[in-house]
Structure 1
Amino acid sequence: MPKVSNKGKQMPESPIRKLVPYADIAKKKGNKVYHLNIGQPDIKTPEVAMTAVKNANIEVLEYSHSAGFESYRNKLSQYYKSHGLPVEVADIIITTGGSEALLFAMGSTMDQGDEIIIPEPFYANYNGFSTASGVKVVPVISTIDTGFALPPIAAFEKLITAKTKAILICNPGNPTGYLYSKDEMLQLAELVKKHDLFLIADEVYREFAYDGYEHHSVMNLPGIEEHAIMIDSVSKRYSMCGARIGCIVSKNKEVMATAMKFAQARLSPPTFAQIASEAALETPQSYFDEVITEYRERRDTLVAELQKIEGVKVAVPKGAFYCIAQLPIDNADHFAQWLLESFDSNHETVMVAPAAGFYSTPGVGLNEVRIAYVLKKEDLIRSVQILKEALAQYNSK
């Protein structure tokens, strides 16, 4: 029988989606499942985006330009400039989600066997994108005890080899909610200059910063214009995960010309989704003000409730809408499956994402889970109540 590729065998399962069959079984039993496992906001997509698609008068659904609509890139450039980022139209290629932008970034800057340094825990699909690109992830560990702050630069420096091509950060972070300080960003800038590396910043949660903290973009770091690559997406900003529209942004003309070849190979990003994304740029600031207030309140509610459970440790997120919680258990994978397969509280249970899948170092994060606070506050309170009951029952077995 023909065999699948080694690359295919090495592709990691999604720690977020691999529990879906168990959730389906729980629902078939009549149990309600509170989904804390996936960053799918329940916030309404801006009406202006949905209206643009409904009103689109298209007789032939043609290919778009490989770099995306010029009108969209023009407006996107203006959007970035209004947020203090010096991004020109030529610096932008529209992609099918931030995922494709990351694949383009890796494909344009790294060869088979090259290395990329990533602070962990990190967005689980970075493992998948790296495997698909034949690139080796070299993790540098950040811990819950420091709130997942950037590890010391010396820890990065000792990992740099002749094969190292880039450092990748998620800012604010998924799964930690950590927001990099200006000083941390400047330290990374110095490091990539010194060792002639790329600094790839996944900034899809840029708007989601709390408590007066400010987001510092890779595109604003002086002196590393040729090193900086920004990844962005409409998924979280406008609650448009299903649109699958993102972009890769860089001042490095050779990188962008190379990324364009990958863009041409996949032909073009989807037309209707670009219409929605372009219209979404008209979303009023009041929308974001309300969304940020809502997420901050959800974060405060979730953290306060988790801190009431004995043996639970949680790092308070400064941005995005995730947190990592350390639970008084040995194996979060087993616990997450048990929650769906064997436990209910008045026919209700919760679905969490085991955090080990957000690390590439084996054996790390086994007792941690990622929780997305994308549900309304009363649902978060009920979810943590269920979690507390579940932990008591699980640990008494």
Structure 2
Amino acid sequence: MPKISLKGQSMPQSPIRKLVPYAENAHKQGKTVYYLNIGQPDIKTPQIALDAVKIHSLDILAYTRSEGSEEYRKKIAGYYYKKQIHVTHDDIIVTTGGSEALLFAFGSIMDTDDEIIVPEPFYANYNGFSTASNVNIVPVISKIEDNFALPPIEEFEKLITPKTKAILICNPGNPTGYLYSKEEIKQLASLVKKHDLFLIADEVYREFAYDGHSHYSIMQEQGIEDNAIMIDSVSKRYSMCGARIGYLVSKNKAVIQTALKFAQARLSPPTFAQIASEAALETPQSYFDDVIHEYVDRRNILIEELQKIAGIKVAKPNGAFYCVVQLPIKNADNFAQWLLEHFDVNGETVMVAPAAGFYSTPGVGLNQIRIAYVLKKESLIKAVNIIKEALKVYKD
């Protein structure tokens, strides 16, 4: 029998999706499953985006330019201008989701066995992207006791080697919900400039900043124009995860020209999704105000309910819609599967994401889970109560 590649064998499973078969079986058994495992918002997509696809006048569903249509990219640049990010349409490549933008960035700046430093826990697919790109993640651990703040900059500096090409952050963070301060971004900017590295910022949750905090982009920082690469996406901002439209943004012309070659190899981003995403740029601010208010309410009730459970630790997020919870157990993978296979409260159970998959350091995060608070408040209260009751009887 022909053999699977070593790369394929080492490609990690998604900690978010690997429990899906168990959730499906629970559903077949008649159980209600509260899905806390995945960042799929239940917020309605802006009607203006849906209508743009419904009323299109296309006769041929043709390719667009590999970097995305010029009209759309000019409008994206206009959106960024309102956020004090001054870029032109030539600094933007439209990609098939933020995932492809990250793959293009990795392919453009790193060679086999190069290294990228990433604060962990981090978005689980960074592990997959690094495997696919034949590069190595070098983790620097942030701690739940510090609310997952940026680790001391000295911790980053001592990990830099001749193989180091970049530092990657997610701001606000997935899975932690941590929002990096302007001062923390400046520390990173100074470090990458000192060592001539790239700074990649995954900023797909930029709209979701709470409690009076504001998001500060690496693209706002002066003096690192050649170092900065921003990753963005419409998925969470407009509740358009299925559109699969993202952006790679950089003022470094060599990065854009190189990433464009990767974009040309896959031809073009999806046309209908660009139409919907272009229309979504006209979404009124009131939409975001309402969404943020809803997420703050959900976060508050979630944290309040979790803190009633004995023996847990929970980090309070200031952005995105995730939080990491440390449970009084040994192995969250086993606990998450057990919840779906063997436990329910009045026919209801929950699906969570074990957090070990959001780390690359072996043995770290084994007793943590990530919760996505993308459900109605009433459902969140029920889901946390199920976890509370489960912990009373669960044995590792």
Pairwise TM-score range, normalised by the shorter structure: over 0.9
Distance between the aligned counterparts of 1:160 and 1:313, measured in 2?
A: 32
Alignment partner of 1:102: what SS?
helix
The residue number in structure 2 matching 1:283 is: 283
Letter matched to residue 77 of structure 1: A
Q: Which amino acid in the other structure matches residue 207 of structure 2?
A: E
Structure 2 matches for 1:217-236, cutoff 5 A? 217-236=217-236
Structure 1 unmatched runs, 5+: none
Rounded to whole Å, the distance in 2 between the matches of 1:247 and 1:259 is 11
1:87 CA drift (Å) = 1.3
- Give per-residue Cα distances to partners, 1:30-51, cap 9 Å, x unaligned: 0000000000000000000000
Task: Identify the residue that residue 91 of structure 2 maps to in structure 1.
Answer: 91
- Which residue number corresponds to residue 367 of structure 1? 367
Corresponding residue for residue 390 of structure 1: 390
Q: Which residue number corresponds to residue 178 of structure 1?
A: 178
Give the distance between the partners of 2:136 and 2:391, measured in 1 at CA.
36
- Cα distance in 1 between the residues matched to 2:280 and 2:180: 27
Q: Does residue 242 in structure 1 map to residue 204 in structure 2?
A: no
1:44-94 Cα shifts (integer Å, max 9, x gaps): 000000000000111111111000011110100000001110111110000
Instruction: Look up the SS of the partner of 1:64 in the other structure.
Output: coil
Alignment-derived partner of residue 61 in structure 1 = 61
Q: CA deviation at 1:393?
A: 1.4
Q: Which ranges in structure 2 are unaligned for 5 or more consecutive residues?
A: none
Partner of 1:255: 255
Please show how residues 8-47 of structure 1 align to structure 2 within 5 Å. 8-47=8-47
Give the letter aligned to residue 31 of structure 2. N
The ranges of structure 1 where at least 4 consecutive aligned residues each deviate by more than 6 angstroms after the TM superposition are none
1:198 aligns with 2:198: yes
The 3-state SS of whatever aligns with 1:247 is strand
What corresponds to 2:315 in structure 1? 315
Corresponding position: 1:110 with 2:110 = yes
Distance in 2, Cα, partners of 1:221 & 1:140: 23
How far is 1:258 from its partner? Answer: 0.1
Alignment partner, residue 347 of structure 1 = 347
**Counterparts of 1:221 and 1:125 in 2: how far apart (Å)?**
27
**Alignment partner of 1:335: what SS?**
helix
State how far apart, in whole Å, the 2-side matches of 1:21 and 1:34 are. 15
Report the 3-state secondary structure (helix = DSSP H, G, I; strand = E; otherwise coil) of the residue aligned with 1:323.
Answer: strand
| CA–CA separation in structure 2 for the residues paired with 1:40 and 1:386 | 21
1:291 alignment partner, SS class: helix
Q: 3-state DSSP class of the match of 2:177?
A: coil
1:73-152 aligned at under 5 Å gives the runs: 73-152=73-152
CA RMSD across the alignment: 0.6
Amino acid at match of 2:366: L
Distance 1:87 1:378 in 2: 42
Q: Counterpart of 2:265 in structure 1: which amino acid?
A: A
- Separation of aligned partners in 1, 2:389 and 2:237: 34
- What secondary structure is seen at the aligned counterpart in 2 of 1:43? coil
Corresponding residue of 1:328: 328
Q: CA deviation at 1:97?
A: 0.1
Amino acid at match of 2:53: V
Could you say which residue in structure 1 is the equivalent of 2:216?
216
* Aligned-partner Cα distance in 2 for 1:218–1:14: 28
CA distance in 1, matches of 2:79, 2:177: 24
3-state SS of the aligned residue for 1:232? strand
Output the CA distance in 2 between the equivalents of 1:49 and 1:193. 40
How far, CA to CA, are the matches of 1:259 and 1:5 in structure 2? 26
Offset from partner CA, 1:330-350 (integer Å, 9 cap, x none): 100000000000111100000
Aligned with 1:169: secondary structure? Answer: strand
Cα separation, 1, equivalents of 2:165 and 2:342: 46
For residues 142-166 of structure 1, the C-alpha deviation after alignment (integer angstroms, 9 at most, x for no partner) is 0100000000010000000000000
Give the structure 2 partner of residue 4 of structure 1: 4
Please report the TM-score for the alignment, with normalisation by the length of structure 2. 1.00
For residues 126 and 287 of structure 1, the distance between their equivalents in structure 2, rounded to whole angstroms, comes to 30
Alignment partners' CA distance in 1, 2:290 and 2:357? 32
Matched residues, number: 396
SS of 1:370 mapped into structure 2: strand
Q: Normalising by structure 1, report the TM-score.
A: 0.99
Shift in Å at residue 312 of structure 1?
1.1
- Please show how residues 162-177 of structure 1 align to structure 2 within 5 Å: 162-177=162-177
Q: Could you tell me how far apart the structure 1 residues matched to 2:155 and 2:288 are?
A: 37
Measured in 2, the distance between the counterparts of 1:86 and 1:112 equals 33
Shift of 1:2: 0.6
User: Equivalent residue for 2:292?
Assistant: 292
Aligned equivalents of 2:294 and 2:87: distance in 1?
Answer: 30
